[in-house]
Amino acid sequence: MSNTQPLLEVRNLRVEFPTRRGTLVALNDVSFDIHPGEVLGVVGESGAGKSMTGAAIIGLLEPPGRIAGGTISLGGKRIDNLSPNEMRPIRGRQIGAIFQDPLTTLNPLYTVGRQLVETMTTHLPVTPAEARRKAIEWLELVGIPAAAQRIDSYPHEFSGGMRQRVVIALALCAEPKLIVADEPTTALDVSIQAQVIALLKTLAREKGTAMMLVTHDMGVIAETADRVAVMYAGRIVEIGAVRQVVKHPSHPYTIGLMGSIPPITHRLERMQQIEGAMPRLSAIPRGCAYNPRCPQVFERCRMDRPELMPAGETRAACWLYDAASEQGVLKAAQDA
């Protein structure tokens, strides 16, 4: 996978929100790649910038949000500087989006079948009859019972979980090269979650579909993703193979996140927790944004912002892994 050309390349992405009190920086210097057939999981607390990153890639930033720096390329072609009219045909055909709230995606005035058929006839060389047949197949794949009978139902005639399955079918039916999935299984029960996760994995493996999977659920990440990026205060603080990040996290924030997951092998009297809260965009501290909450903070953390650097099998934005710093030397000695 690493030998192929990345399908999605995000470089030094910066997203700003101008306000009367100044400019808020929602994403700051975010860079990553996703290769064909690869699933990149993106995790972090609410407000970390996960959904904002997805919205920037899709070209659906809410005004006054704007891309103020960096580049986004899909298949070698830059897309962050395209106009809304130029971006519209790319969404759906090349980039599929699965949003957390299905009511923001589905048109309440059209049947789900019409929405699926229109998406496929717009982006694929199929007749309306072929598109309708495929629409029924997609609805069956995502777990809609009696799909042939439900295809002419309206969104309000489905439950919340059923609507979410329709949204997933809508995102997948044009067979896009990239899927940006923002909490795609939140509204689904466990059995349907497993079915949808299996479908997403099959698409990645057999169709070569690349996927950015935004979720709070580490179980979904562990089951689905190949790599995982951990975000904090608008930046990636650690990125690497999912097994390494989950089993051997390097950044203190990632260590705290993984420590908050209850083990299944034994009972804990008290769950580990990260003290404090994510900083507001208007009050991101100098240096490493995590420094007020970090149990291993030292003076340099409060002054200088670390970039991603090698940290064992992953890359982490943490001065503990800087060989030039005294703490980095101590950390290396402890690991040895």
Residue 107, pLDDT score: 94
Higher pLDDT, 153 or 220: 153
Which pTM value belongs to this model? 0.90
- Check whether 29 has a pLDDT greater than 80: yes
pLDDT tens string 160-208: 888 988 998 999 999 999 999 998 887 677 877 887 788 888 888 888 8
How much is the pLDDT for 293?
95
- pLDDT tens column, 41-60: 999 998 999 999 999 999 99
- Given a contact cutoff of 8 angstroms between Cβ atoms, the answer to whether 72 and 6 are in contact is no
**pLDDT at residue 114, rounded to an integer:** 97
Nearest CA to 153 out of 111, 118, 109, 119 is that of 111
Name which residue leads in pLDDT, 111 or 273: 111
Q: What is the pLDDT of residue 332?
A: 54
